[in-house]
Chain A
Amino acid sequence: MRGALAPLAVAAVLFAILPMGLSMAGSGYLFRLADVTLIFCILSLSMQLITGVAGLLTLGHAAFYGIGAYTAAILSTRVGLDAGLTIPVAGLVSALFGVLIALPTMRLVSIYFAVATLGLGEMIYVTLLNWVSFTRGPLGIGDIPPLRPFGFDLSSPLGTYFLIAALAVLSLLIVHRIAHSYYGNALRALREDDQCADAMGLPVVRLKIEVFAIATFLAGIAGALWAHTTGYVNPADFRFAESILILAMVVVGGLGSIPGAIVGAALLILLPEALRAIGEVRILAVGLIMFLCILFLPKGLFGEVAALDLVRRQFGAAWRGGSAARPLGWR
């Protein structure tokens, strides 16, 4: 019973309390902020898997977000594909690119890998910008239909919110099960020392490619959600600065910490809006708050150790076996 309480509380907040509160406020503004926050939660969770758990600093995550958004935009406007299909296909296309990029770069480590992803991310941006006949280049793609998957009209604020929340929870579940399992422990091992992990018999390159594929799949889903809820995509929305924003969410939240990724995303999306009252210095204030966070909490607002402890106590069914051989997570 105790193990079910915390997950139920999360579900209750996301699917009952928050939507009820938002509906009562009757504010499209707050609904939109909730949607964007959840989309960025998916993005920060997926980057957390690569950068926080597997320890590969990626600077090109926005490109996969962009590939997802463009896949959904092109499929829904030119092929007329249903949103119920464009979202998973966007994830798959993004993951395909993720694997293609991972194959040559995964043998690189630390800063070399970061620079490689930076370059590849820029290449994808420049391709979106200059392949005018296919992506309409700088004109962007407009008139992307709102969310009506398989005939269910979810284009209302509440419907859109529920779909995004459901997909965010699904992503959270996937990332949670991966990060807090033996598989996640293997990823952490190669984060700490990949040569040592290799010597212990872990298939380092295969693990990295797999985690990259999963993370880019989730980034693609986030991109498709962005495209359908915003209705217009432009290459400029998926530039380097966006990758840095997602990275900042992960670092401020806490590298390697799953709740940290959520806290980081919520903070960096909601803080600039909450500070509107103070006028033009608000962006400066956001920067200052980020700086202070890193200065005083270098391990993040919700550090990895605290996060693992929380997950182990409240969400970790696999850790509560009680047998002599204490398990270290899901097998």
Chain B
Amino acid sequence: MTTTRRSLLAATAMVPFAAQHARAQPRRILIGYQLPLTGEFSQYGERFRNSALMALEAFNRAGRLPVPVEIVFEDTRSDPREAVAVARKFVDNREIVAVLGDFSSSASIQAGRVYAEVGMPQLSQTASHPDFVKISPWQFRNITTQAYEGPRVAEWMRENGVRRVAVVAIQNDWGQSVVSNFAEAFRAGGGEVVATQFFNPGNREFRAILTEIARARPDAIYIGMFYEDGAAFLQQRRQLNIRIPVYATSSLYEPKLVELAGAGAEGIFLSTTFMSTSPEPHVRAFVEEYRRRFGSEPNMFSAQAFDAVNILLEAIVRAWPEVTRARVREELAKTRDFPGVTGVTTFDPETREPAKTLARMRIENGQFVLLR
């Protein structure tokens, strides 16, 4: 009887210590990463995972924390059903302190509703939907949105003397934001948007749109699309011999664009946060290691994920030793002047929107050339 009581007492006395011990010294720190590893977006998920593994290995090798950090990758196909299910799965795992992903804005928002409800910091490398960071204070993104890029392109055009512009964009959430943000800033600066055209995703026939906008006689065309569509657009522009200068969103920065569009891509202006030919040493180190390990050229998506993982790891280091979901969220919001491969990044603590340095480029002789 006495022994039972004594051991019980001993056990209860141990509990607070055990709890404290567990808090001070977790065996490891877990991060969840939801991303499309199968399905139509798997090429992006593959890049995210490559970059994440690279960043994580370097971090653990440097030994900045006494315990290892691990990433749990879960495939969602960026499908709404799976994205929400995986979000629930990550939330159930008490060891996971923060989540990266998803790829598409739609899946990120649907998963984000779960994270907002439970209180889990979420950092997406690519979700550019304007509502994403508005879900709750738990959402962050490491991609500049068109609210940031649009006004800067508008300013660039004004500097180049463009007064009248035609805009062509893909009909999705991102394309909508390309048009609205650019047009607003361009008009505010005294310019005129003479034509706006949306095309449905999957459509590669731009001749009707090109004829239509050429008739409005703009000084420049601004295109918001991905490189596959962009290549078709630029080729068809050349075939129709329309010589209006083209400015493009950063999404067209992709070596394949020049390959696919050939001479059609010549002279295009575009801005970007990541440039694989950048002379900066940390960008060169990233590009070289990526090339060596995975045998392919890193693109904007690889770089976005690489920085997102590193930003989250930095936040965890700052939160140490109290690495909880709430503390990681607090520290993420304090991200300032992070020297990423996609530019120096600062998160606005209120809106949780990133600000990055944008580089200006032009395609000359089939090469992306930095303009200064």
Please name all residues of chain A whose beta carbon is closer than 8 Å to the beta carbon of B198 when the two chains form the complex. Answer: 130
Instruction: Please give the residue numbers on chain A whose beta carbons come within 8 Å of chain B beta carbons, in ascending order.
Output: 26-29, 31-33, 36, 126, 129-130, 132, 137-140, 142, 230-232, 234, 236-237, 269, 272-273, 276, 279-280, 282-283
CB contact between B38 and one of A33, A130, A231, A280 (< 8 Å): that residue? A280
- The answer to whether B81 touches A138 (Cβ under 8 A) is no
CA distance A36 to B82 in the complex (A): 10
Q: Is the CB of B135 within 8 A of A142?
A: yes
Task: Report the minimal beta-carbon distance from A28 to chain B, rounded to whole angstroms.
Answer: 4
Partner pick for A31 among B37, B88, B176, CB 8 A cutoff: B88
- The residue of chain A having its C-beta at the shortest distance from the C-beta of B172 within the complex is A138
Q: Which residues of A have CB within 8 Å of B85?
A: 29, 32-33, 36, 273
- B125 in the interface (beta carbon within 8 A): no
Least CB distance, A138 to chain B, in whole angstroms: 4
Interface string of B82-95 (1 = CB under 8 A from A): 10110011011000
List 15 extra interface pairs beyond A139-B176, A142-B109, A279-B75, CB under 8 A: A28-B92, A28-B114, A33-B85, A36-B84, A137-B176, A138-B172, A139-B129, A140-B173, A230-B84, A230-B113, A232-B106, A232-B113, A237-B106, A273-B82, A280-B42
A29 and B287 CA atoms in complex are apart in Å by 38
Counting CB contacts under 8 A, is B39 at the interface?
Answer: yes
Provide the main secondary structure of the chain B interface.
helix
B264 at the interface (CB under 8 A from A): no
Which residues of B49-76 are within 8 A (CB) of A?
74-75
B80/A283 in contact, CB under 8 A? no
By the criterion of a CB under 8 Å from any partner CB, how many residues of chain B are at the interface? Answer: 34
- Contacting A at CB under 8 A, from B98-156, are 106, 109-110, 113-114, 118, 129-131, 135
**B246 nearest CB across to chain A (Å):** 23
A226, closest chain B residue (CB)? B80
Contact A129 B92 (CB under 8 A): no
Q: A129-B171, A232-B106 are in contact. Are A276 and B75 (CB under 8 A)?
A: yes
Nearest CB on B from A313, distance (A)? 35
Cβ distance A33 to chain B, nearest Cβ, rounded Å: 6
Asked if B77 is an interface residue, CB under 8 A from chain A, the answer is yes
CA distance A31 to B117 in the complex (A): 15
Interface CB pairs A-B, < 8 A, 8 = A27-B92, A29-B88, A29-B91, A31-B88, A130-B198, A139-B129, A230-B113, A280-B37
